[in-house]
Structure 1
Amino acid sequence: MLQIKRMPVGQIGTNCYLLEDPETKLCAVVDPGDQAADIDREIRKAGLTLSMILITHGHFDHVLGVPGLLEQWPGIPVYVHEKEVNWNKAGDQYMLLAPVDNIKTVKEGDTIPFGAAEIQVMHTPGHSPGSLTFRVGDVLFCGDTLFAGSCGRTDFVGGSYGQILLSLKRLASLEGNLRVCPGHEGISSLDVERVRNPFVLEALR
């Protein structure tokens, strides 16, 4: 069974997640926002091999640790939506992932193999144009789209309140009581968010 370890990192305690497959000893890192050395230490301490980096969106507090991890694990793929990469090195560079080696852009409906499991890619814009949710079994890594009791800001460049409501409606309409692993603060569940989250309730009306 896959295991999940949450590591708050960086200036504002962004949630970085280690998705671990005990059978294959593979690890996927979701949103390494900072402290690459600490993340790498946790991976090696558990006897795991880092096989990929998953980026929910390109804001600085979710990606600052990417270059450091790639130095330690060269050649591993970095999965991200194309709209979250600063390809032209223009505009608001502070809010986009700088191009790094081995970027693999993914989109709605793509799947990424991980050991015996499969990671489903969902495009959930609103907080940013290319925000992604990665679904692995009954777990949603939803970045800054859905929080416990709240949702991500939409006042940044490329944000849209209308779009995030559509994304929240889509996530809340998924079957089952899926676990919600957000980009900040605590882990929740869809059952809880469907009845307590005012933004989800608005989206479902």
Structure 2
Amino acid sequence: MQIKIQPMGPYQTNCYIVTLDNKDLIIDPGVDATEWVLNNVTNPVAILNTHGHFDHVWSNTAVKEALNIPIFCPKDDIFMLTDDPLGQGTPKSIPDYEVVGDELLDVAGIKVQYRHFPGHTPGCSVIEIDDVWFSGDFLFQQSIGRWDFPASNGEDMIKSLEKALGIKGDYTIYPGHGLSTTLKAEQHVIPYWIEQVKRTL
């Protein structure tokens, strides 16, 4: 697996191009991501969204139209792609496939496991490919996604963190912002974050 990373836009949101079996998966094409994506793919097959926040999906439609490939997005976050609930002027995009829960997908012959971890958003998910997690805004290095946005939910975040604590095996984590880490490293700090979220409820 080859992974290309480019932080995009004012929030430096990581856009990823994952190449496996000579096929390119584009994860979270954010603000002004189109040119970088077009210059760095050779055989693109899909756009995968971890969740619906504008800084992760801004270039969905531009990339889709340029490359004629489908968009996959968690079903519970599709309203963010179509309605721009945060009023950011996000270009509208319409997913071709609505991912439901912990769904295992076959994307052009590549096994893509979505793991649903709501809290930051209703549909917030990790995209698992082999032993790698693209964690969006669920887990960061030594931190977690915010749970105080519109449509966020602290109780759901606690359940999601507890779920992540119970997952066996190690995964390399590539988050939506910042540097990579591992699941085992983050499992050491997740109990701290569970307590932090509980204090706000």
Following superposition, the deviation at residue 193 of structure 1 comes to 0.9
Following superposition, the deviation at residue 95 of structure 1 comes to 7.1
Query: TM-score, length-normalised on structure 2?
Result: 0.86
Change (3 A) 1:131 1:72: same
Q: Secondary structure at the match of 2:87?
A: helix
Q: Structure 1, residues 92-138: CA drift from partner, whole Å, max 9, x if none? A: 25379765355210112322224554111121100011111111111
Residue number in structure 1 paired with 2:112: 119
Of 28, 49, 54, which aligns to 2:25? 28
Residue number in structure 2 paired with 1:178: 171
Following superposition, the deviation at residue 84 of structure 1 comes to 1.3
**Does the CA-based 8 Å contact 2:52-2:78 persist in structure 1?**
yes
Q: Provide the alpha-carbon RMSD of the alignment.
A: 2.5
Q: What is the correspondence of 1:102-181 to structure 2 with a 5 Å cutoff? A: 103-114=96-107, 117-181=110-174
Q: Structure 1, residues 148-187: CA drift from partner, whole Å, max 9, x if none? A: 1111111111111221121122123211121111111011
Change (3 A) 1:80 1:96: farther
Q: How many angstroms apart in 1 are the aligned matches of 2:90 and 2:15?
A: 16
One-letter code aligned to 1:59? H
Q: How many residues align?
A: 195
**Does the CA-based 8 Å contact 2:83-2:92 persist in structure 1?**
no
Residue number in structure 1 paired with 2:36: 38
One-letter code aligned to 1:14? T
Following superposition, the deviation at residue 61 of structure 1 comes to 0.4
One-letter code aligned to 1:57? H
Change (3 A) 1:81 1:114: closer
Q: How many angstroms apart in 2 are the aligned matches of 1:96 and 1:82?
A: 21
